[in-house]
Amino acid sequence: MLKIRACSSIIHRYQSTSSSVSINHLTNDEIRAHRLRVFANERQTQIERIRRVEKIEVDVHDPIQSTKLLMNKNISTPYHCAQHLSSVLVERSCLALVDDQYIWDMNRPLERDCTLK
């Protein structure tokens, strides 16, 4: 008996809320136009948030080969460059020599065109 009362109160609760919601009768074209406006506004917002990513050229010199890579300025690191070359280089490297004069952490972003060793 208690279960029946609980079920009937749940049913009554959903019936009372569904009847209080007003229903607008919109045509499919109106709904489609509204969705397109919402999408266009969100797309524009997303485009404005994205900053332009500049590219830099990184010459990587390792004992086996020399490679030129196009990387993202202030985002890509020597670690990312090593990932393009070999997994062994990734596992065994902790520092990089930038432009033959700067010792660079493998996780520090590269700021300009450079050479790596």
Q: Where residue 86 sits, what CATH number does that domain have?
A: 3.10.20
pLDDT value at position 78? 92
pLDDT value at position 21? 47
Residue 86 lies in a domain: yes
Q: In total, how many domains does the chain have? A: 1
Residue 30 lies in a domain: no
Residue predicted with more confidence, 24 or 37: 37
pLDDT > 70 fraction of the chain, expressed in percent and rounded: 79
Mean per-residue pLDDT, 22-34 = 83
pLDDT > 90 fraction of the chain, expressed in percent and rounded: 32
Residue 10 lies in a domain: no
Binning pLDDT at 50, 70 and 90, where does residue 17 land? low
- Residue 2: pLDDT over 60: no
- Rounded to two decimals, the pTM is 0.56
Residue 104 lies in a domain: yes
pLDDT value at position 58? 92
Residue 11 lies in a domain: no
Phi/psi at 54 (nearest 5 deg)? -85, 150
Which domain covers residue 110, as residue numbers? 55-116
Binning pLDDT at 50, 70 and 90, where does residue 117 land? confident
- Collapsed DSSP state (helix, strand, coil) of residue 23: coil
Helices and strands counted in the chain (H then E): 4, 5
Residue 68 lies in a domain: yes
pLDDT in tens, 53-62: 889 999 988 7
